[in-house]
Structure 1
Amino acid sequence: MYLENIKVKQFRNYTELDVALSKGINVFIGENAQGKTNLLEAVYVLGMAKSHRTSHDKELIQWGRNYAKIEGKVNKKSGTIPLELTISKKGKKAKANHIERKKLSQYVGLCNVVMFTPDDLQLVKGSPSLRRRFIDMEIGQIQPVYLHRLSQYQKVLEQRNALLKNADGSDRSVQSMLDILTAQMIELAADLVHRRLRFIRLLRDWAADIHQSITDGRERLSMDYRSSVGDVSEDMELSRIKEVYEKAFADVRKKEMERGLTLIGPHRDDLDLAVNDKNVQTYGSQGQQRTTALSLKLAEIELIADEVGEYPLLLLDDVLSELDDVRQTHLLSTFKERVQTIVTTTSVAGIDHEMIREARSYRVKNGEIVETVD
């Protein structure tokens, strides 16, 4: 799949913009704070119905305006689909083929995107929340219902934490409400973790091969899902995972009442990464950590293509200058002529890859974009 054009109105620093895109590599060049990242964010939001930079949608709306709109035509094997997303203070309205989708889970997945930013190099050595977000957003693209379930889980978690924070252990009504919320949490948590385990199994296979290729066979990447309840594995049925959670919540209940906080669940899980059987988060060199992060992102592209039958868009936000020649080559050459790629950079001078110099180029300045002809 590829995006034929991206059209925005009152989004970030863009009052109005309509850019036709090549289905190959598109490079947007400009100084910092001119709007390069905002453009990539618009493409990402069009596909995912949420930003990778902020959880506050109002920040996407141009200052002093009431709404922002993003439009684009995604070309797929099944045909061209016009997409439209409007963001206002009342919420988001999504349309596909000019028909409004009542639930965002009916919209997400129509245009698959993979974003790679300098922050993703922190995916390995950064906090567990970064790895959880990576897992959540990618499963959401191939299983949009996952995002709906995750949203439900987060709401129950908030309610449960609020109850625990002010709980009176002797109040029967409080205990009864806690039982209800715990039962809801077990149902949702087991479902989320069951889906995560399947995703990790698939991702591991792709990432291991890619990592081995980048390192010429010198390094072997492995990964394991680390659950806060400990005893879950990829071969478990959903019903068995529920049983594990039921026991875990019963065991930790007294401690949760004392702490006033939910102590277990998918929101506390992590992804363990190892290179040659050594934890790369703790013991890996910067080069190994970067190669691992790159392998995960490249594996993500292959996994999505395998699951949905088409390659996603690849968005590279000022990341090429952070990679050496070997990693640049793997990032760009692996998907040559198969993946539409949109790149931002302050200059192509520091990027040695010939494919960038042959790409369609645009100049970005003060919220305006002009295609360049060299």
Structure 2
Amino acid sequence: MYLKTLHLRQFRNYQDQKIEFTAPKTILVGNNAQGKSNFLEAVELLATLRSHRLARDHDLIRDGDAIAQINATLERALGISDLTLTLHRHARRSVAINSEIVRRQMDFLGVLNAVEFSSLDLELVRGSPENRRNWLDTLLIQLEPVYAHILQQYNQVLRQRNAFLKKSQESGVRSQESQLSIWDAQLVTAGTRLIIRRDRAIQRLAPIAAGWHASISGSTEVLQIQYAPNVPLAKNHAEEVQQAFLGKIQQRTASELHRSTTLVGPHRDEVKLSINQKPARQYGSQGQQRTLVLALKLAELQLIEEVINESPLLLLDDVLAELDPFRQNQLLDAIQERFQTLITTTHLGAFDSQWLKSSQILYVRTGKIIN
């Protein structure tokens, strides 16, 4: 796939900016806080309807404006698509394909595929389990767009169940548990669908990431990625997972009523990352952690490419400065002409002359992009 144009209106610090992409690699150069990351964030939103910054819609709209819009022209094997995402300060966002409003947002997903790699991704190793769950969910949304709907369903039931638990002190225990069983059934149904898809994705991703990691580390280290669900998998059969889920949640009912929150479910899952059988979060050096994240991102690219039979876009947000020269070369060699790549940087020193000759170079200054 190839992103031909991107047009931003009142998005972040851009008032009205349109760019036509003329090379497989585009390098956006500028000082910090000029809008380079905002530009990549717009592409990421079109791909996943999520931002790795986890911003709310009104934070994405330029100060003083009520609406922001991202428009892109995308060329794929099946033809050209015009994509539009409209963000409203006081209303729900809307999406359109070829000027036709798409009522179900999951039908918008999967048209544009992209992998974002930013300095924030080092938190995949160092940060909390929530970081790793968000990363896995974003990947799954691109592999299976229906996953976005399933995740939304689960989160909605989880919020409602937690709200019920908080009010539970007002009624009798018998009444509480009777009503709670209704929420249990809904949570188990939606949660099981998440668990099975997360496990399947990790099973496919893990060997690919291990291969990349071995290549980058010179086969001196072994990367292991393990999905550690909060509910036992029970051989990955939906009925068995549901039974295990329901059994565990019933065991914790008293604790949940006491603490007024849901203690069981995929919102408490973990993805374990190990190097040579030691937790990377605790024992990995900075270099090892960077190698691990780089391997994960390259694996994401490869897995999405295998699933959709086209190369996704690669968005590199100021990561070359985070990598030593060897890892930079590993990344740049892996890209070559295989993926359309948008790169942000504060300077061009990390690129060799051949790369610069084959790249479109744009300069970003206070929300304006110039050639």
Partner in structure 2 of residue 225 of structure 1: 227
Give, in angstroms, the shift of residue 361 of structure 1. 0.3
Large movers: runs of 4+ above 6 Å: none
Q: Are the counterparts in 2 of residues 316 and 343 from structure 1 also a CA contact under 8 Å? A: yes
Partner in structure 1 of residue 8 of structure 2: 8
Q: Are the counterparts in 2 of residues 348 and 356 from structure 1 also a CA contact under 8 Å? A: no
Give, in angstroms, the shift of residue 357 of structure 1. 2.3
Partner in structure 2 of residue 321 of structure 1: 321
Cα displacement string for residues 171-228 of structure 1 (whole angstroms, at most 9, x for unaligned residues)? 5443232111111000011110000000000110110110011011111111111122
Task: Report the secondary structure of 2:179's partner residue.
Answer: helix
Q: Are the counterparts in 1 of residues 50 and 138 from structure 2 also a CA contact under 8 Å? A: no
Q: Are the counterparts in 1 of residues 23 and 360 from structure 2 also a CA contact under 8 Å? A: no
Partner in structure 2 of residue 204 of structure 1: 206
Deviates more, 1:107-116 or 1:160-169: 160-169
Cα displacement string for residues 352-371 of structure 1 (whole angstroms, at most 9, x for unaligned residues)? 44454232100111211111
Cα displacement string for residues 291-344 of structure 1 (whole angstroms, at most 9, x for unaligned residues)? 111111110000101111111111011111110112112212112111000001
Q: Distance in 2 between matches of 1:105 and 1:79?
A: 20
Q: Are the counterparts in 1 of residues 225 and 272 from structure 2 also a CA contact under 8 Å? A: yes
Q: Distance in 2 between matches of 1:278 and 1:80?
A: 47
Cα displacement string for residues 242-295 of structure 1 (whole angstroms, at most 9, x for unaligned residues)? 111011111111111111111111111110111111111111111111111111
Partner in structure 1 of residue 96 of structure 2: 95
Q: Does 1:186 align with 2:185?
A: no
Q: Are the counterparts in 2 of residues 325 and 352 from structure 1 also a CA contact under 8 Å? A: no
Partner in structure 2 of residue 60 of structure 1: 60
TM-score, normalised via structure 2 length: 0.96
Identity of aligned residues (%): 39
Task: Report the secondary structure of 2:154's partner residue.
Answer: helix
Partner in structure 2 of residue 30 of structure 1: 30
What is the aligned residue count?
A: 368
Q: Distance in 2 between matches of 1:174 and 1:246?
A: 17
Q: Are the counterparts in 2 of residues 328 and 353 from structure 1 also a CA contact under 8 Å? A: no
Cα displacement string for residues 142-185 of structure 1 (whole angstroms, at most 9, x for unaligned residues)? 11111111111111111111111221362544323211111100
Q: Are the counterparts in 2 of residues 3 and 23 from structure 1 also a CA contact under 8 Å? A: no
Q: Distance in 1 between matches of 2:154 and 2:106?
A: 15
Task: Report the secondary structure of 1:47's partner residue.
Answer: helix
| 1:189-338 matched pairs, under 5 angstroms | 189-229=191-231, 231-232=232-233, 235-338=235-338
Q: Which amino acid aligns with 1:55?
A: A
Q: Distance in 2 between matches of 1:243 and 1:154?
A: 20
Q: Are the counterparts in 2 of residues 124 and 281 from structure 1 also a CA contact under 8 Å? A: yes
Partner in structure 1 of residue 132 of structure 2: 131
Structure 1: runs of 5+ lacking an equivalent: none
RMSD: 1.4
Q: Are the counterparts in 1 of residues 9 and 70 from structure 2 also a CA contact under 8 Å? A: yes
Partner in structure 1 of residue 362 of structure 2: 362
Q: Which amino acid aligns with 1:34?
A: Q
Distance 1:50 1:236, change over 3 A: closer
Q: Distance in 1 between matches of 2:84 and 2:168?
A: 45
Task: Report the secondary structure of 1:26's partner residue.
Answer: strand
Q: Distance in 1 between matches of 2:330 and 2:354?
A: 12
Partner in structure 1 of residue 121 of structure 2: 120
Q: Distance in 2 between matches of 1:253 and 1:326?
A: 52
